[in-house]
Structure 1
Amino acid sequence: MIIGFIIIGLIVLVDQFTKWLTVTYVGDQTIVIIKNFFNLVEHHNDGAGWSIFAGQWLFLILVTLVSLGFFIYLFKSISFKTKWVYSLAVSFMIGGTLGNFIDRIRLRYVIDFLQFTFGSYTFPTFNVADSALTVGVILFAIDIFFLEPKR
């Protein structure tokens, strides 16, 4: 369980630090990392993924609290010795949720900064917490569909 707490803490620290760097050094500019593919920008998202539920702060706070409650319930059964993919998944989902929750409470929006462009399509801007949540959900699905039946 200690490993889970360390992973959660690292995700939150890296997420908040990269957001601080973005606000401090990126601001209103676009920093091109790979031309026509990857930029750093500062985007304030007052919605959820793809800006759905934009402006629905209270609803998003409630959804986050319910999600955190569910993830904490799952966290009680983690074991990096016997269910390491499951444990990693739950830890990533909690870390990502907490990273964005801090922004929502503190700022009433989430700071996004990673922007990818594929031809004429610009993927919605995201952050480290979003990445951790996505990786956590993918690992969780892998565990549920492929590993859990074998245990």
Structure 2
Amino acid sequence: MAKTMSKQASGTLAPWLGIALIVILADQLTKIAVSKVFAYAVPYAITPFFNFFLVFNRGAAFSFLAMAGGWQRWAFTLLGVAAAAVICYLMKRHGNQRLFCTSLALIMGGALGNVIDRLVYGHVIDFLDFHVGGWHWPAFNLADSAITIGAILLVLDELRRVRGAR
């Protein structure tokens, strides 16, 4: 009986890896297109609050450790790969929890999209620039967006789970 329960609790990774792959492909294709079309550090106004603005980030979120001297490239690459491995384990173990696995797949796809940039270019390509007046949010990309959406869905899933336990 324990073997049957264990089998039901785990699921296939295929749909979740498919979501992650879609995120990676969309992220990489947009980065290639933006890199070919736009000049570095030249804002291209789209709306009064949004620009395309090609920049390279050698650090992590908000350019954290961007000027650290180069070791951060490998540290963040290793962190992204390790996170993907842990996420695969969690998705395999909880494959029947759709929102949980969808959120993890988005996070993994975004993390690996940025890992690819670090390995290929030595930096992450960012190009989405939102601003209000003179204040600009740090530029980001689709991978960062997927990570953020995944994190929000993860919190919502946990809140839903806690409410269901009451």
Report the AA paired with residue 46 of structure 2: I
Given the superposition, is the C-alpha separation of residues 70 and 114 from structure 1 closer, same or farther in structure 2, using an over 3 Å criterion?
same
Q: Distance in 2 between matches of 1:78 and 1:68?
A: 15
Secondary structure at 1:117 match in 2: strand
Report the AA paired with residue 137 of structure 2: F
Q: Structure 1 residue 77 and structure 2 residue 93: aligned?
A: yes
| Deviation readout 1:26-65 (Å, 9 max, x if unpaired) | 1233211102x10001110000000002142222123223
Report the AA paired with residue 49 of structure 1: A
Query: How is 1:118-137 mapped onto 2 (pairs within 5 angstroms)?
Result: 118-137=132-151
Q: Structure 1 residue 8 and structure 2 residue 24: aligned?
A: no
Secondary structure at 1:27 match in 2: coil
Q: Distance in 2 between matches of 1:65 and 1:17?
A: 21
Q: Distance in 1 between matches of 2:163 and 2:92?
A: 20
Q: Distance in 2 between matches of 1:72 and 1:128?
A: 21
User: Which residue is 1:106 aligned to?
Assistant: 120
Q: Distance in 1 between matches of 2:162 and 2:87?
A: 17
Q: Distance in 2 between matches of 1:70 and 1:149?
A: 26
Q: Distance in 1 between matches of 2:78 and 2:101?
A: 25
Structure exhibiting the larger radius of gyration computed from Cα positions = 2
TM-score (norm 1): 0.90
**Higher mean displacement: 118-127 or 12-21:** 118-127
TM-score (norm 2): 0.82
Secondary structure at 2:114 match in 1: helix
Q: Distance in 1 between matches of 2:162 and 2:114?
A: 29
Q: Distance in 2 between matches of 1:140 and 1:27?
A: 36
Q: Distance in 2 between matches of 1:16 and 1:125?
A: 16
Report the AA paired with residue 4 of structure 1: W
Q: Distance in 2 between matches of 1:133 and 1:144?
A: 16
Q: Structure 1 residue 31 and structure 2 residue 50: aligned?
A: no
The alignment yields a C-alpha RMSD, in angstroms, of 1.6
Question: Unpaired segments of 5 or more residues in structure 1?
Answer: none
Post-superposition offset of 1:87: 1.4
Question: Unpaired segments of 5 or more residues in structure 2?
Answer: 1-12
Post-superposition offset of 1:134: 0.5
User: Which residue is 2:7 aligned to?
Assistant: none
Secondary structure at 1:39 match in 2: strand
Contact 2:128–2:141 under 8 Å retained in 1: yes
Q: Structure 1 residue 142 and structure 2 residue 151: aligned?
A: no
For these two proteins, the number of residue pairs brought into alignment is 148
User: Which residue is 1:60 aligned to?
Assistant: 76
